[in-house]
Amino acid sequence: MPDFHFVFGEPPDEIKEELERAHDQRSMAVTAIQHDVHGFLRELSKDQLLTLRALINGMSSDPAASAFFMGIITSLLDTTFGVCPCGRNHDEELAAVAGPGDEMRVVGSEETEALVAEESPLPVIQEQAKMDEYGLDYDEDGKLFCKNCGTKYVSIEDRMLKPPGTEGCSGCIQKSKWG
């Protein structure tokens, strides 16, 4: 039974049963409408789905409904026609680039994990260069701070929102103004 909350005590059983029936009818009606919409969308071609998605995106005045239907259409485009959410079919693009004699293969999860597990020193070098440029270092707790004034930063990117050096660090600016 649905969880009903009554203000003036518990209603008679007949009213409870009537409320349950009304609730069940509403939920069945909503489910029937959802099935009808999904059935209609499944019958559309790729071009029709792309057009409908563009129309919903451009013409809908309800952002929640727009996002809901855009998600359904995007999912159908991906699963049925292999069209990426960006709107292109990457399998066709890869086949065109690969040529007739080349073999396309899907990289398995073990190969992907092996590629991710390999650490390249390049990002570490770039990170250290950015830290030197912006005058940052890590403290004993592993948090970023300005070497000049000690102001803490969440990330290098956070500090990079302002110019490098003491003219971009809010702590250094305060220190130079007030000592």
Question: What are the sequence ranges of the domains in the chain?
Answer: 13-98, 121-178
Helices (H), the chain: 13-42, 46-59, 63-81, 90-98, 109-117, 121-134, 156-159, 170-178
Among the residue ranges 23-37, 81-95, 156-170, the one predicted with the least confidence is 81-95
**Per-residue confidence (pLDDT) for residue 156, from 0 to 100:** 85
Overall pTM > 0.85? no
Q: Please check the confidence at residue 115 and state whether its pLDDT lies above 50.
A: yes
Mean pLDDT across the chain: 78
Q: Please check the confidence at residue 22 and state whether its pLDDT lies above 60.
A: yes
In single-letter form, the type of residue at position 38 comes to H
CA distance 39 to 54: 20
Q: Please check the confidence at residue 103 and state whether its pLDDT lies above 70.
A: no
pLDDT band of 142, cuts 50, 70, 90: confident
Q: What is the mean pLDDT of residues 79-104?
A: 67
Q: Please check the confidence at residue 104 and state whether its pLDDT lies above 50.
A: yes
Is 70 exposed, middle or buried (CB count within 10 Å of its CB: 0-12, 13-18, 19+)?
Answer: middle
Among the residue ranges 8-22, 49-63, 67-81, 87-101, the one predicted with the least confidence is 87-101
**Exposed e or buried b per residue across 151-176, where buried means at least 16 C-beta atoms within 10 angstroms of its C-beta:** bebeebeebeeeeeeeebbebbeebe
Contact 52, 71 (CB under 8 A): no
- Pick 107 or 170 by higher pLDDT: 170
- 98 CB neighbour count, 10 Å cutoff: 11
Q: What is the mean pLDDT of residues 129-156?
A: 87
